[in-house]
């Protein structure tokens, strides 16, 4: 989260003064307004505000009809929530390595495709757009669905299309650490009515039939699901944050480009599938060895790290997945379902060499949209 202040405070005050914080109300209709804004900004037909990125991913997978007996390919480098969403839908995550862009390698996806592959989740990690052209071509060839995890890439784009709007569905996150934030929050994006309807029912299964006319025009039957309903305070904050989104991205991209310009004569900068659409939140500096990366990191001092050190974003730290505990009760554990059990990978034995090697030889710098050129020159001087 980069820019939040009095505008959001004013919106929150209005919601509280209205006395209506529930999303279905006769007052400000912030949730509806926010969803409409998302549809316009992201160029999608349907949008659903939910409580988190995980809720968005899980609702989208349920919307897409993913479940037991299905495999979903995920990258070895992502936040564990991506992988847990697959398990929450009852399916089996199949891990594929990344390439030099830090995003899932389309060739490695192809190697992992089986008759059970029903979906692939390209993750636009650190705001880096995935190679969507290659992934879409594979989707056409093999018939799997694409769910874009754009949780770390709110507002970014690939070849002019917003991340999250290219696949069958997309997921955004608005937690504290994302491009825009309401503290917590998420959104499902899709053009597909059936995906939307099933996600809608799943995300608020107990309330959907009882509040407002949410089921008007909905064809999918009701089923038991979760409670990932948003609220008017979060929606009001987000509506205002969405107005700031493109300004934040413009400034992030400008500053990333400027800092890149200062460093690129001396250092290798990680390649991008679409630099114009990259969110600009992260500048990857790549070295031949981990020792060189660590020396660079130490010189820069604060505000940088080697991605290998983040732990939770790397497959070999996904404890619940590695140990195959897919639920709170063994009989509800997708890893033990008869439809899945024969196909569960031995995650502990798997090694993804590009992920481990590249993340250990990389230093991420994190441009601020508000840095001045002088501030960036100062950072560059520490290493030049």
Ligand X SMILES: Cc1ncc(COP(=O)(O)O)c(C=O)c1O
Is 81 one of the binding residues for ligand X (CB under 6 A)?
yes
**Identity of the residue, 25 or 185, whose beta carbon is nearer to ligand X in the bound complex:** 185
**Identity of the residue, 28 or 307, whose beta carbon is nearer to ligand X in the bound complex:** 307
- Nearest approach, Cβ of 53 to ligand X (angstroms)? 2
Is 151 one of the binding residues for ligand X (CB under 6 A)?
yes
- Nearest approach, Cβ of 150 to ligand X (angstroms)? 8
- Nearest approach, Cβ of 128 to ligand X (angstroms)? 11
Residue span binding ligand X (CB under 6 A) among the ranges 65-73, 79-87, 336-344, 356-364: 79-87
Which pairs from 21-28 meet CB under 8 Å and 24+ separation?
21/231, 21/232, 21/233, 22/211, 22/231, 22/232, 23/49, 23/229, 23/230, 23/231, 23/232, 23/235, 24/211, 24/212, 24/214, 25/232, 27/232, 28/232, 28/236
**Identity of the residue, 279 or 379, whose beta carbon is nearer to ligand X in the bound complex:** 279
Is 127 one of the binding residues for ligand X (CB under 6 A)?
no
Which pairs from 241-244 meet CB under 8 Å and 24+ separation?
241/4, 241/8, 241/174, 241/180, 241/181, 241/182, 242/34, 242/37, 242/38, 242/41, 242/180, 243/37, 244/3, 244/180
Helix (H, G, I), strand (E, B) or coil at 289: coil
Compute CA distances 17 → 27, 183, 241, whole Å: 10, 20, 20
**Identity of the residue, 235 or 383, whose beta carbon is nearer to ligand X in the bound complex:** 235
- 259: Cα separation from own chain's centroid: 25
Site string for ligand X, 46-65 (x = CB under 6 A): ------xxx-----------
**Identity of the residue, 79 or 158, whose beta carbon is nearer to ligand X in the bound complex:** 79
What region, left, alpha or beta, does residue 185 occupy, with left being phi > 0 and alpha being psi -120 to 50 degrees?
A: left
Is 78 one of the binding residues for ligand X (CB under 6 A)?
yes
Number of residues binding to ligand X, judged by CB under 6 A: 15
Is 173 one of the binding residues for ligand X (CB under 6 A)?
yes
Site string for ligand X, 86-125 (x = CB under 6 A): -------------------------------------x-x
- Out of 31, 58, 82, 230, the only residue in the binding site for ligand X (CB under 6 A) is 82
- Nearest approach, Cβ of 230 to ligand X (angstroms)? 12
Site for ligand X in 266-285 (CB under 6 A): none
The DSSP secondary structure of 138-184, one letter per residue, reads HHHHH--EEEEE-TT-TT-EETTEETTSSSSEEEEE-STTSSS-SSS
Residue span binding ligand X (CB under 6 A) among the ranges 12-20, 147-155, 200-208, 290-298: 147-155
Cα angle value 52/55/58 (rounded, 5°): 150
- Nearest approach, Cβ of 274 to ligand X (angstroms)? 18
- Nearest approach, Cβ of 319 to ligand X (angstroms)? 17
- Out of 149, 204, 232, 251, the only residue in the binding site for ligand X (CB under 6 A) is 149
- Out of 75, 127, 156, 186, the only residue in the binding site for ligand X (CB under 6 A) is 186
Pair 49, 36: CB distance under 8 Å: no
- Out of 2, 42, 77, 79, the only residue in the binding site for ligand X (CB under 6 A) is 79
Distance CA 40, CA 34 (A): 10
- Nearest approach, Cβ of 296 to ligand X (angstroms)? 25
CA atoms within 13 A on the CB side of 86: 34
- Nearest approach, Cβ of 173 to ligand X (angstroms)? 4
Burial class (CB in 10 A: 0-12, 13-18, 19+), 270: middle
Binding residues for ligand X (CB under 6 A): 52-54, 78-79, 81-82, 123, 125, 149, 151-152, 173, 175, 186
């Amino acid at each position: 989260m980069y820019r939040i202040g009095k505008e959001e405070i004013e919106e929150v005050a209005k919601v509280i003064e209205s006395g209506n914080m529930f999303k279905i109300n006769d007052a400000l209709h912030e949730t509806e307004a926010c969803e409409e804004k998302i549809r316009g900004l992201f160029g999608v037909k349907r949008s659903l505000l939910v409580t988190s990125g995980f809720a968005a991913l899980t609702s989208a997978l349920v919307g897409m009809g993913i479940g037991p007996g299905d495999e979903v390919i995920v990258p070895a480098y992502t936040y564990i929530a991506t992988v847990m969403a697959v398990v929450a839908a009852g399916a089996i995550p199949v891990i594929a390595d990344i390439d030099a862009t830090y995003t899932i390698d389309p060739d490695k996806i192809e190697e992992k495709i089986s008759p059970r592959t029903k979906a692939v989740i390209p993750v636009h990690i650190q705001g880096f757009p995935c190679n969507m052209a290659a992934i879409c071509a594979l989707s056409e060839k093999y018939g799997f669905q694409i769910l874009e995890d754009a949780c770390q890439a709110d507002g970014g784009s690939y070849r002019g299309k917003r991340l999250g709007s290219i696949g069958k569905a997309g997921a955004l996150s608005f937690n504290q650490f994302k491009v825009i934030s309401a503290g917590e929050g998420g959104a499902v994006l899709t053009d597909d009515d059936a995906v939307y309807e099933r996600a809608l029912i799943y995300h608020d299964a107990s309330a959907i039939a009882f509040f407002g006319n949410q089921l008007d025009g909905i064809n999918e039957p009701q089923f038991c699901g979760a409670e990932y309903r948003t609220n008017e305070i979060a929606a009001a904050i987000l509506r205002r944050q969405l107005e700031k989104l493109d300004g934040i991205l413009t400034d992030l991209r400008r500053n990333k480009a400027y800092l890149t310009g200062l460093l690129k004569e001396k250092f290798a900068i990680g390649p991008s599938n679409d630099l114009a659409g990259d969110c600009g939140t992260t500048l990857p500096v790549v070295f031949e060895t981990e020792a060189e990366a660590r020396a660079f990191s130490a010189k820069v001092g604060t505000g940088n790290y080697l991605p290998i050190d983040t732990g939770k974003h790397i497959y070999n730290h996904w404890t619940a997945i590695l140990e195959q505990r897919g639920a709170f009760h063994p009989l509800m554990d997708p890893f033990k379902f008869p439809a899945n059990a024969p196909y569960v990978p031995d995650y502990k034995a798997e090694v993804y060499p590009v992920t481990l090697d590249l993340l250990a030889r990389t230093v991420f710098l994190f441009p601020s949209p508000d840095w001045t050129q002088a501030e960036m020159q100062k950072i560059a001087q520490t290493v030049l």
